[in-house]
């Protein structure tokens, strides 16, 4: 049996475009004499659809899309993900399902059993879990169809104090009792820089332990803040990956079921470093955010610092240099080399830019406020005024020309609140808001791997907001190599204050940093969407109360 794997980039809610893409792939598969074609989880509506699932018309359009696809299902079997309706008066009204289409009809609808409700996932909010996993007979072969999380039954509870498994059920154990010839797993598995290794382990374990070949079909592309890296796979019964589709790109391939067992692991996919993965993911995230939201041009402030330089380079790669505009907005505290570094960066990238000095506006604002500030001592107020003036100018340019403003804050700054509300928190998208400062430097060096794009001055100079004389980030924070390791343990690994101190971090630094993280949740609530590249990004995947005492 010849099986086509369709790794597509879907757009949440754009059911017509998704359906057209699916139909095109079916036609392509039939032209290559494929017997079956497999699409990813919720391919019809895109993943994650969130509360769109609560709209009656949304579900009706999804159902009509299935009928549309059925018109193309001649001489080929189609497995495609979509929501389906639960006719039982009890329970949630929808299932997360895999439709098996054959001879112009719905042959079977297989429902997802394990519904993730952690981190960015909230599937039990919408879907009823399947209770009876079943196999499907296709072209004389017994196929076990699973949906993403259904293979992750051995996943541990995501808490540092727990030693138990997250799920009580193991769908594959029941399915394996039917002696299937193949396991199909349709997925919408989001990217994080450590997710691919976890995935490989899960897929290899299932193929090897149950001694069944496995085809895993993942989607690719980005929907808002969530990025999907594709990397669909075919595994033999030894748990060896014998074929892998591209990462961060759409792809299409055909495998023959009878040959899977005869083929050993011979894939030659070059390994990617963690920094390469983050770089590629952010570029894809920017490109899709703009394309799917209808924007073509970006805007950002160029300070001469490392963060704005990296965001500018990533945006130029994603959108093309002519579509990325920079504003240089020096103040009286900006160093000469910061201005020259920003100008050199813009020239190296070939991006248009303007210089708009803010000193005069700053003086006017201070003069206007002087009756209300009788002492007029320089403090954080005057620092934030500068950031907000820059935010004002950037948003004015955005309004006038229609460029979407990119936020340039990194994860380290967002964590400890080193950003000014209505100033440098402005933006329609935060490309590096889930990238620690240490990794921003590493990405800069990766961008410069073949030629100097980001000036050496931007990489080598001590980090500074340049909002007062001789200001440096290290005046009030530990060095970033220490800070970022501490933040990683506290945020990603959920370690306590006592745990951090026990790891050897300075007690006063720990108390200060964890306090800053906890009290600045209100700022992060007002951030633009942050592209997720880690296992615990700020945003939907990390939900903490603003008003809390802990």
Domain with CATH 3.60.110.10 in the chain: 2-262
Cβ count near 88 (within 10 Å): 9
Identify the three-state secondary structure at position 495: coil
Going along 385-451, which residue ranges are E strands?
Answer: 404-405
d(CA 216, CA 290): 29
Q: pLDDT value at position 374?
A: 80
297 marked as part of a ligand binding site: no
Q: For position 523, what pLDDT does the model report?
A: 95
Q: From CA 295, how far away is CA 331, in angstroms rounded?
A: 30
Q: Which of 84-98, 136-150, 264-278, 466-480 has the lowest mean pLDDT?
A: 466-480
Residue with tokens 């100079």: 461
Task: Give the pLDDT band (50/70/90) at residue 270.
Answer: low
pLDDT exceeds cutoff 70 at 540: yes
pLDDT at 378 over 80: yes
Cα-based angle 106, 138, 44 (whole degrees, multiple of 5): 40
Taking only the tens place, the pLDDT of each residue in 418-433 is: 999 999 999 999 999 9
* Average pLDDT of the chain to the nearest whole number: 94
SS (H, E, C) 206-261: HHHHHCCCEEEEECEEEECCEEEEECCEEECCCCCEEEECCECCCEEEEEEHHHHC
Cα of first residue to Cα of last residue in the chain, in angstroms, is: 59
Residue-level pLDDT at 164: 73
302 is in an annotated binding site: yes
Alpha-carbon span 397 to 298, nearest angstrom: 11
Closest CA to 42 of 244, 233, 221, 251: 221
The set of residues, in sequence order, having a beta carbon less than 8 Å from that of 174 and lying 6+ positions away, is 133
Q: Is pLDDT at 400 greater than 70 in this prediction?
A: yes
303 a known binding residue? yes
- Note the pLDDT tens digit of each residue in 295-312: 999 999 999 999 999 999
Span 2-262 CATH architecture: 4-Layer Sandwich (3.60)
Please tell me whether 189 is known to bind a ligand.
yes
389 labeled part of a ligand binding site = no
pLDDT band at 236 (very low <50, low <70, confident <90, very high): very high
Task: Please give the Cα distance from 193 to 277 (Å, whole number).
Answer: 6
Contact 443, 274 (CB under 8 A): no
Q: Which of 106, 95, 110 is nearest to 143 (CA)?
A: 110
What DSSP designation does 526 have? Answer: T
Which tokens belong to 143?
A: 């196929």
Closest CA to 358 of 321, 327, 336: 327
| Residue 108 to residue 143: CA distance in whole angstroms | 12
Mean pLDDT on 275-303: 97
pLDDT at 163 over 70: no
Q: Catalytic residue numbers?
A: 41, 112, 148
239 annotated to bind ligand: no
Q: Does pLDDT of 369 surpass 80?
A: yes
Which pair of structure tokens corresponds to residue 213? 């070949």
Q: HSE on the CB side for 311, CA within 13 Å? A: 31
For 380, the enclosing helix (H) or strand (E) is helix 380-401
- Residue 115 makes CB contacts below 8 A (sequence gap 6+) with 96, 123, 124, 127, 129, 149
- φ, ψ (nearest 5 deg) of residue 344: -65, -40
- Residue entry with tokens 């945003």: 539
Farthest-apart Cα atoms in the chain, separation: 86
- Is 384 annotated in some ligand binding site? yes
pLDDT at 263: 72
Predicted local confidence at residue 266, as pLDDT: 63
Please give, one letter per residue, the 3-state secondary structure of 71-140: CCCCCCEEEEEEEEECCCCCCCCEEEEEEEEECCEEEEEEECCCCCCCCCCCHHHCECCCCCCCEEEECC
Mapped onto helix, strand or coil, the DSSP state of residue 189 is coil
- Rounded Cα–Cα distance for residues 496 and 502 (Å): 10
Q: What is the mean pLDDT of residues 11-32?
A: 98
d(CA 68, CA 145): 22
- Strands 251-256 and 241-244, bridge-based pairing: unpaired
Ligand-binding annotation for 367, yes or no, is no
Tell me: is residue 305 an annotated ligand-binding position.
Answer: yes
Quick one: 277-474 is in which CATH superfamily? HUPs (3.40.50.620)
Q: Which residues of 311-328 are buried (b: 16+ CB within 10 A; e: fewer)?
A: bbbbbbbbbebebbbbbb
Structural tokens at position 247:
């990462």
Please, are residues 214 and 180 in contact by the beta-carbon 8 Å criterion? Answer: no
Q: Return d(Cα 161, Cα 494) in angstroms, integer.
A: 10
Q: Are strands 135-138 and 36-38 parallel, antiparallel or unpaired?
A: unpaired
What tokens were used for 302?
Answer: 């160029």
pLDDT at site 427: 97
Q: Is 6 helix (H, G, I), strand (E, B) or coil?
A: strand
| pLDDT, tens only, 99-144 | 999 999 999 999 999 999 999 999 999 999 999 999 999 999 999 9
Per-residue pLDDT averaged across 389-409, rounded?
Answer: 97
In this structure, what token pair is assigned to residue 424? 């440098």
**Is residue 413 a known part of a binding site?**
yes
pLDDT at residue 453 tops 70: yes
Poorest-pLDDT segment among 30-44, 103-117, 454-468, 495-509: 454-468
Tokens matching residue 442? 């590493």
The answer on whether 350 is annotated among ligand-binding residues is no
Domain(s) of CATH 3.40.50.620: residues in the chain: 277-474
pLDDT recorded at residue 267: 65
Continuous H helices in 250-305: 257-260, 274-293
Residue 5 token pair = 């794997």
Ligand-binding site membership of 320 (annotated): no
* Residue 370 DSSP class: T
At 155, the pLDDT band (50, 70, 90 cuts) reads confident
CA distance 65 to 249: 24
3 state SS of 269: coil
**What's the rounded Cα separation, in Å, for the pair 75 and 103?**
7
Peptide bond before residue 174 is cis, with ω within 30 degrees of 0: no
């Amino acid at each position: 049996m010849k099986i086509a794997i369709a790794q597509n980039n879907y757009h949440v809610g754009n059911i017509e475009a998704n359906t057209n893409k699916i139909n095109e792939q079916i036609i392509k598969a039939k032209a290559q004499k494929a017997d079956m074609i497999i699409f990813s989880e919720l391919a019809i509506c895109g993943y994650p659809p969130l509360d769109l699932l609560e709209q009656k018309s949304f579900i009706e359009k999804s159902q009509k899309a299935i009928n549309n696809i059925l018109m193309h299902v001649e001489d080929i079997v189609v497995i495609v993900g979509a929501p389906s309706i639960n006719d039982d008066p009890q329970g949630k009204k929808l299932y997360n399902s895999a439709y098996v289409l054959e001879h112009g009809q719905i042959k079977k609808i297989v429902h997802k059993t394990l519904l993730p409700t952690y981190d960015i996932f909230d599937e039990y909010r919408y879907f009823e879990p399947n209770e009876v996993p079943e196999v499907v007979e296709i072209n004389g072969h017994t196929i076990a169809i699973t949906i993403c999380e259904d293979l992750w039954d051995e996943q541990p509870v995501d808490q540092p104090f727990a030693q138990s498994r997250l799920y009580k059920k193991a769908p594959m154990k029941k399915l394996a009792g039917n002696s299937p010839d193949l396991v199909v797993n349709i997925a919408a598995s989001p990217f994080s820089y450590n997710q691919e290794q976890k995935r490989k382990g899960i897929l290899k374990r299932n193929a090897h332990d149950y001694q069944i070949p496995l085809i895993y079909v993942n989607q690719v592309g980005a929907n808002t803040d969530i990025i999907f890296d594709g990397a669909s796979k075919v595994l033999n019964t030894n748990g060896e990956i014998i074929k892998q589709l591209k990462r961060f790109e759409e792809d299409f391939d055909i495998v023959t079921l009878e040959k899977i067992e005869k083929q050993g692991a011979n894939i030659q996919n070059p390994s990617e470093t963690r920094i390469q993965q983050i770089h590629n993911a952010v570029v894809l995230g920017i490109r899709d955010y703009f394309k799917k939201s209808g924007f073509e041009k970006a805007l950002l402030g160029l300070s001469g610092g490392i963060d704005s330089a990296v965001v500018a380079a990533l945006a130029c790669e994603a959108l093309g240099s002519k579509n990325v505009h920079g504003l240089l907005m020096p103040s009286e505290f900006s160093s000469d080399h910061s201005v020259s570094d920003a100008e050199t960066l813009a020239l190296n990238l070939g991006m248009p830019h303007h210089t708009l000095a803010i000193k005069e506006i700053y003086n006017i604002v201070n003069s206007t406020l002087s009756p209300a500030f009788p002492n007029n001592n320089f403090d954080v107020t005057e620092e934030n005024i500068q950031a907000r003036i820059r935010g004002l100018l950037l948003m004015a340019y955005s309004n006038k020309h229609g460029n979407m403003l990119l936020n340039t804050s990194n994860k380290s700054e967002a964590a400890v609140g080193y950003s000014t509300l209505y100033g440098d928190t402005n933006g329609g998208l935060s490309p590096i808001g889930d990238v620690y400062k240490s990794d921003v430097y590493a990405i800069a060096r990766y961008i410069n791997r073949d030629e100097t794009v980001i000036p050496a001055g931007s990489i080598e100079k001590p980090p500074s907001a340049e909002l007062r004389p001789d200001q440096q980030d290290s005046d009030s924070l530990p060095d970033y190599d220490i800070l970022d390791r501490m933040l990683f343990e506290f945020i990603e690994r959920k370690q306590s204050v006592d745990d951090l101190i026990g790891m050897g971090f300075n007690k006063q630094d720990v108390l200060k940093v964890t306090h800053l993280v906890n009290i600045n949740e209100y700022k992060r609530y007002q951030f633009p969407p942050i592209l997720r590249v880690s296992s615990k990004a700020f945003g939907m995947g990390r939900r903490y109360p603003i008003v809390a005492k802990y």
